Amino acid sequence: MFGSLVDAPANSPHLRRSGSRAVVSDIGTVELGGSPVEALLHNIEVNEMKGVTTPLSTAAIMPSPVLLWRFKVLLFLIWGVSCCKISWDSVMRMSANLRDLFLYEAFLYYNPLLLMTMMVWFWGINLWVFAQANVNYAKIFDLDQNHLSHREIWKCATWMTMIVPTSMTAYLYLYSHGEVSLAASQPVLLYAVFAMALIFPFDIFYLSSRYFFLRTVWRIVFPFQAISFADFFLADIFTSMSKVFSDLERSVCRMVHRQVSSSLSYAFGEKKDN
C-alpha cells in the first residue's frame, strides 16, 4: 500500500509550499518553490528575453555612418563636377573680347566670399590642431563652454562651399545665355543671404556664436571699452584680409547703385547692334 510510488502532475497544488504560486511562461508552466520575489525576478527575466530582439532589428535597418559619409562625398563630387562643367560651357559660349569683362565681373563679386570660405576652413583646421596639441584655446580667446568645435566650423564651411559656387555657376550660366537681369540678381541674393544668416535673431544656426562674433566686431570698430585677446586676434585677421574687404566694398557699392549688370548690359547691347 505504501511501497508504490504515485506520479503526481507537475502543476499539482499539493507540491507547492505555502505562499508559492505557479508562473506561466512561453515555454510552459514553471513552478517556483521560493518566495514571491523569486517569481517576480523570473517574470522580469522573461520579459527582457522577449524584448531583446527589438533594438537589434531596428539597428539593422539603420545604415552605418561610414556608408552615409561615402554617400555625402559622392553627392559632393557630383555637385562639384556639375558646377565646373556648367561654368566652363558658359564661359566658352562667349566671345573672346567679352570674356575678360565677364570674368572680371564674376571675380569682383565672388572672390571675397570664396576667400572668406577658405578662411573658415583654415580656422577649423587651426582648432583641430589646437585640440590635437591639447591647447586650451577656449581660455585663451575668452570663449564660453558653448563655443563651436572644429567639426561645427567645418560644417559651416561646407555649406559656404556649396552655396557660393552654386550662385556663381548660376551667374555665369544666366549671363552666357543673355539673361542679364536674372544673372545680376544672383550676387545680390547671395550677399543678402549671408547678411541675414549673420544677424538672424532666432536661436538657430549657432545664435550665441554669431552674436559673439558681432559683439567682437563692434568692439573692434568702436574701441570704447576694454579690449580682450579675442578682439586683438580678430582685428589682426581682419588686417590680413584688407584686399578681401576692398573687393567687398566695391561689390556692395555697385549693388547699392544698381551697377551689377551695367557694363555687361552695355557689352551685350553692342554685340546685338553689331
Ranges of each domain in the chain: 13-60, 82-273
Q: Would you state the cell numbers that stand for residue 50, as one nine-digit string? A: 522577449
7 vs 118, more confident: 118
Mean pLDDT across the stretch 193-208? 88
Residues 30, 11 contacting (CB under 8 angstroms): no
Sequence-ordered strand ranges (E) for 11-112: 22-24, 29-31
Instruction: Provide the pLDDT for residue 40.
Output: 58
Q: Would you state the cell numbers that stand for residue 129, as one nine-digit string? A: 590642431
Looking up cell 566658352 gives: 92
Q: Which residues pair with 29 in a beta bridge?
A: 24
CA distance linking residue 243 with residue 42, whole number of Å:
75
Report whether pLDDT(6) > 90: no
Report whether pLDDT(256) > 70: yes
Q: Would you state the cell numbers that stand for residue 210, as one nine-digit string? A: 554669431
Residue (of 117, 120, 112, 119) closest to 249 by Cα position: 112
Mean pLDDT across the stretch 32-54? 56
Cβ-proximal residues to 130 (8 Å cutoff; 6+ apart), any chain: 137
- H/E element, 48: helix 36-51
pTM of the model: 0.69
Residue (of 220, 179, 214, 217) closest to 200 by Cα position: 214
CA distance linking residue 87 with residue 176, whole number of Å:
10
Residues 93, 176 contacting (CB under 8 angstroms): yes
